Amino acid sequence: MLDTVTQAAIDARYTNSFGRAAGYLPRDRKAVDAWLARHADRTRDRKEALSPSVAALKRVIEADRTSSRWWPVCSNNCRVSSSRSRASTTC
């Protein structure tokens, strides 16, 4: 389902995010992407063990990636929120 997300939709979501609008994040999303890539490289090479709570969170995230729980996106690239009783879009 996430295949319908385009680069333009990701850029629009970033531009309209609270962090960007409030000035906490850089204007250029490429700067954030570069920082994340550097951070991922640093953490991938880390030798010390993760704390038990962080290790547990890592397992939850990795298990969730293989399920269908990721937030779906409608064909208009709108976020679909889900509750126990119904799903609605913010189109």
For residue 77, what are the domain limits? Answer: 2-89
Q: Taking the chain, what is the end-to-end CA distance rounded to the nearest angstrom?
A: 16
Instruction: Report the pLDDT value the prediction gives residue 84, as an integer from 0 to 100.
Output: 46
At residue 72, what is the residue type? P
Lowest mean pLDDT: which of 18-27, 33-42, 55-64, 78-87? Answer: 78-87
The total number of structural domains in the chain stands at: 1
pLDDT band at 38 (very low <50, low <70, confident <90, very high): very high
> For 53-62, what is the mean pLDDT?
88
pLDDT band at 63 (very low <50, low <70, confident <90, very high): confident
- Sequence-separated (6 or more) residues with CB below 8 Å from residue 82: 71, 72
44-76 burial code (b ≥16 CB/10 A, e <16)? eeeeeeeeeeeeeeeeeeeeeeeeeeeebbeee
Q: In terms of pTM, does the model score above 0.85?
A: no
Which residue's structure tokens are 């951070």?
39
Q: How far apart are CA 91 and CA 80, in angstroms?
A: 9
